[in-house]
Amino acid sequence: MNTRRKAHNALFALTVLLALLLTVLFNGVMLLLSNRHNLAFDLTRAAAYRLDAETLRLLDGLEGRVDIHVLSPREGFDGNPYLVQARSILDLYPRHSGQINLAYIDVASDPAFAANYPDLSLKPGNILVSSGGNVRQLALNDLFNYSYSAASASGTAVSSSRAQEAVSSAILQVVSGQPLRAALLVGADTAQAPALLSLLRDNNIQPSQVNLAGANLSGFDLVMLLAPMVDLSPDSLGLLDDFLYNEGEYGKTLLYTMDAAQPRLPNLAAYLSEWGAAVLEGAVFETNANMTYRMQPYYPLAEYTDETLAGALRDNSIKTLMPRAKPFSLLFSSRDFQHTSVLTSFSPTSAVRPAQAGSDFDPASAEVRGPLPALALLTRRDRSQPPKESALILSASTAMLEEAALGSAQLANSEYLLKLLESRAGRGQGVQLRPVSLAGANLGVSSGTAQWLAILLTAVLPGLLLLAGLFVFLYRRHQ
């Protein structure tokens, strides 16, 4: 009996030992695999912990070493869900490309690291992306989008993560060499565009602010004139013509945006008419709630008219927002060596509120009605074959470039604008990734649908429940 018990105990001990050895072996194998491959499963709706297909294509095409230095200990990204997500994304880059070297540097304990970058002002949380002598510095704030929050002491809170977009764009910038150059014109009471400048920098387009007075625009690929409140002089308009003509080489682009609050600018209006566009007075509004943003009639959504650019978007069911838009029309589609085309348009249910309309304005009385162009491409060509051309991109809205529009995951403003600018520059290697939110999924419906849902949930369903309860009460009472 004792012999049998001893044999049983020995077999049990051997089984336990074998199980422990298999567990250690399994963990060791999984550890080795995890160092080379991503074994985590991302079950989030927005795929917040996976690299996008565009990033994977970028990494597959890398031919030189890229260093990513995170100026923080790894545990510095613990706690906050968005910091954890950003760290998870960073950790994926070296796993998908042998050309990527990722290192977390505690600058407090390694102050000598800053001596390698004497021209940069380094701060904890910065991310340095470098390759072949090119360096891109990202602040921690560059990894996130922010929105107003009354509950926050600073007045803002993280609304979504753009960590992957920021890092992938930085990689593209340091390996691409010379970026495109863009000039933001100032000096005519033009609009400020910090969100646009940030978007351009993150996508290998180098912006500079240039005063209109005697500006030298010859070294720029793109010039931006955003809703000037002061009319341009003939000399300033001549500078724009010289830029677009480019000594007969063409190949330049001018982005001109308007705003409903602009006064009459006769010189600019005449200049645009030469390119084939007539500026109208007033403000575009929508009568269809389905085509508005948050039920605001003067925040209309635009529909895609140009199929080529719309087809380049990852999801062309997501529309662009064109707030506070100034209406315009196209005078011709083709004349001599000039051509015009509508890229996006306001819907047939849109209309124009006259500039002089009072508070008693009746939308039904609007004389100018849609469809109206929202974004148009105006081109001039030479006589060569194939022809060289420059373009004027005309936008009815300047507010389409504000942070609320460019940083929204529910709008295509940033992606569409970059696709458009890069198509004009002949460059197709931009990285446009939508922000991802770690909050609960939003119900993606239009303003009109939201209104009907509100009626259904606050009136119709409670009313039906009340009637059902009344029916049951009366039925049981008469049994």
SS (H, E, C) the chain: CHHHHHHHHHHHHHHHHHHHHHHHHHHHHHHHHHHHCCCCCCCCCCCCCCCCHHHHHHHHCCCCCEEEEECCCHHHHCCCHHHHHHHHHHHHHHHHCCCEEEEECCCCCCHHHHHHCCCCCCCCCCEEEEECCEEEEECHHHHEEEEECCCCCCCEEEEEECHHHHHHHHHHHHHHCCCEEEEEEECCCCCCCHHHHHHHHCCCEEEEEEECCCCCCCCCCEEEEECCCCCCCHHHHHHHHHHHHHHHCCCCEEEEECCCCCCCCHHHHHHHHHHCEEECCCEEEECCHHHEECCEEEEEEEEECCHHHHHHCCCCCCCEECCCCCCEEECCCEECCEEEEEEEEECCCEEEECCCCCCCCCHHHCCCECCEEEEEEEEEECCCCCCCEEEEEEECCCHHHCHHHHCCCCCCHHHHHHHHHHHHHCCCCCCCCCCECCCCCCCCCCHHHHHHHHHHHHHHHHHHHHHHHHHHHHHHHCC
Q: Where are the domains of the chain?
A: 53-160, 179-406, 449-479
Residues of the chain with pLDDT > 90, as a percent, come to 37
At residue 314 the predicted structure's pLDDT band, cuts being 50, 70 and 90, is confident
Nearest Cα to Cα of residue 69 among 117, 109, 20, 3? 117
Residue 350 has pLDDT above 90, yes or no: yes
Residue 75 has pLDDT above 70, yes or no: yes
CB 398 within 8 A of CB 258: yes
CB 100 within 8 A of CB 108: no
Q: Residue 181 — φ and ψ, nearest 5°?
A: -115, 135
- Beta-carbon contacts of 288 under 8 Å, excluding residues fewer than 6 positions away, are 347, 349, 448
At residue 106 the predicted structure's pLDDT band, cuts being 50, 70 and 90, is confident
Q: Looking at residue 470, what is its pLDDT? A: 78
Half-sphere exposure of 358 (CA within 13 A, CB side): 1
Q: Looking at residue 428, what is its pLDDT? A: 47
Q: Looking at residue 446, what is its pLDDT? A: 52
Q: Looking at residue 304, what is its pLDDT? A: 94
Q: Looking at residue 442, what is its pLDDT? A: 45
Q: Strand pairing partners for 222? A: 182, 253
Q: Looking at residue 449, what is its pLDDT? A: 61
Residue 336 has pLDDT above 60, yes or no: yes
Angle at 84 between CA 82 and CA 86, to 5 degrees: 70
CB 126 within 8 A of CB 71: yes
Q: Looking at residue 280, what is its pLDDT? A: 95
Q: Looking at residue 43, what is its pLDDT? A: 40
Q: Looking at residue 216, what is its pLDDT? A: 87
CB 320 within 8 A of CB 413: yes
Fold of 179-406: Rossmann fold (3.40.50)
Half-sphere exposure of 478 (CA within 13 A, CB side): 5
Q: Looking at residue 137, what is its pLDDT? A: 84
CATH architecture of the region 53-160: 3-Layer(aba) Sandwich (3.40)
Residue 326 has pLDDT above 90, yes or no: yes
Kindly state the tokens that stand for 452. 């009907």
Q: What average pLDDT does the chain have? A: 83
Residue 70 to residues 80, 123, 138, 143, Cα–Cα distance (Å): 17, 10, 9, 12
**Tokens 């001109």 identify what position?**
256
Q: Looking at residue 426, what is its pLDDT? A: 58
76-96: per-residue pLDDT in tens?
Answer: 888 788 888 889 999 999 998
- Per the model's pLDDT, the better-predicted residue between 77 and 151 turns out to be 77
